[in-house]
Amino acid sequence: MDDRLRYKGFLLYGDLNLEFYSLGKTSLQRPVEMNLVGPFVFQQLRCVTTTAIGLPACVSFIAR
């Protein structure tokens, strides 16, 4: 395929602790605490080719 099909992907696992001290224009007395735990998957499949007049064309498929 002459390097026309390209794949990029990764898998991450995170444990994020977040604190928000304001929501929009409203200040808060105490922060809003959030904890995000879990996996994150990113996959991208690209098909790169040229058009009839020789310009590059690309089609991407992304899954998150």
Q: Please write the tens of the pLDDT for every residue from 39-57.
A: 988 888 877 776 667 666 6
CA-CA-CA-CA dihedral for 54, 61, 45, 50, to nearest 10: 0
Q: Please write the tens of the pLDDT for every residue from 4-13.
A: 778 889 999 9
Q: If you write DSSP's letter for every residue of 1-51 in order, what string do you get?
A: -TT-EEEEEEEEEEEEEEEEEEETTEEEEEEEEEEEEEEEEEEEEEEEEE-
Instruction: Map tokens 């602790």 to a residue.
Output: 17
Please give the model's pTM, rounded to 2 decimal places.
0.45
- All structural domains of the chain with their residue ranges: 5-63
Q: Which of 36, 35, 43 is nearest to 8 (CA)?
A: 43
